[in-house]
A = this chain, B = another copy of it.
């Protein structure tokens, strides 16, 4: 699926095949533009729960929906500068057994990510999202263990961030990071436009980016002459280690 990466890298775990675009497209494009190898794993195609328009178009089968969703996601990943793979676990409901967990842990070991992006740990509107978040966190823990496939290279302790859910307050999601994506907004919007089946969300997530941009400006310290127009919010799930508080 992908070779061992030697550069800086990041892993994005997306419950359905479009989530990574709306929620983390800016972070992906930004870090890819700086040379990170970013890999996206789609746990499912969102074939049941997030393909309403396709189903309504008539004469549709699950295979056709998956095919269409995969093509869209691949196109979006290409624009953002990321590699992508699909686990095809099914959605509504997404479920994961031990083997799934190990497959994801193996991807962690291959990617050796410097940071990890996934869903929020609560979402009353979409039970697949928290499941993806917990699966990601548990796979990360297993990939850190010397006793799992002994002899393989374990991973470090990369930071994990939850990207923004659709109704943030209802998910008790609180961003502690505002990522300035102004420089790559055009790429993110181009990737968004790959999602032909979900046009109603294009403008929704454009507005999200603008709002987070305004908020980022409100939280910038002294001496920053940067113009921020678009941002993405993230919630850290673990403390960060640093030597600089400014």
A: which residues have CB within 8 A of B? 8, 10, 27, 30-31, 36, 47-49, 51-52, 55-56, 60, 62, 65, 92-93, 95, 98, 101, 112-115, 117, 124-127, 134, 137-138, 141-142, 145-148, 150, 155-159, 161, 166-170, 172-180, 203-204, 207-208, 210-211, 214-216, 218-224, 228, 231, 233-234, 236-246
In the complex, the chain B residue whose C-beta lies closest to that of A137 is B124
- Nearest-neighbour CB distance to chain B for A89, whole angstroms, equals 12
Neighbour of A179 across the interface among B216, B236, B242, CB < 8 A: B242
The verdict on A141 contacting B156 (CB below 8 Å), with A27-B245, A161-B245, A176-B239 known, is no
What is the CA–CA distance of A190 and B208 in the complex, to the nearest angstrom? 23
Query: A60 to nearest B CB, angstroms?
Result: 7
Instruction: Kindly report how many copies of this chain are found in the complex they form together.
Output: 6
For A24, give the chain B residue with the smallest CB separation. Answer: B245
Q: Are B245 and A216 in contact (CB under 8 A)?
A: no
Inter-chain contact A176/B176, CB cutoff 8 Å? yes
13 contacts between A and B (CB under 8 A): A47-B147, A49-B142, A49-B147, A92-B141, A124-B137, A124-B237, A124-B238, A127-B134, A156-B222, A158-B222, A170-B239, A203-B210, A219-B238
A223 nearest CB across to chain B (Å): 7
Enumerate chain B residues within 8 angstroms of A210, measured Cβ to Cβ.
203, 207
Q: Smallest distance from the beta carbon of A67 to chain B beta carbons, Å?
A: 14
Contact present for B245 and A180 (CB under 8 Å): no
> Which of chain B's residues has its CB closest to A232's CB?
B245
CB–CB B175/A169 < 8 A: yes
Task: State A246–B116 Cα separation when bound (angstroms).
Answer: 9
Known pairs A141-B126, A142-B93; A220 contacts B241 (CB<8 A)? yes
Cα(A155)–Cα(B219), bound, Å: 12
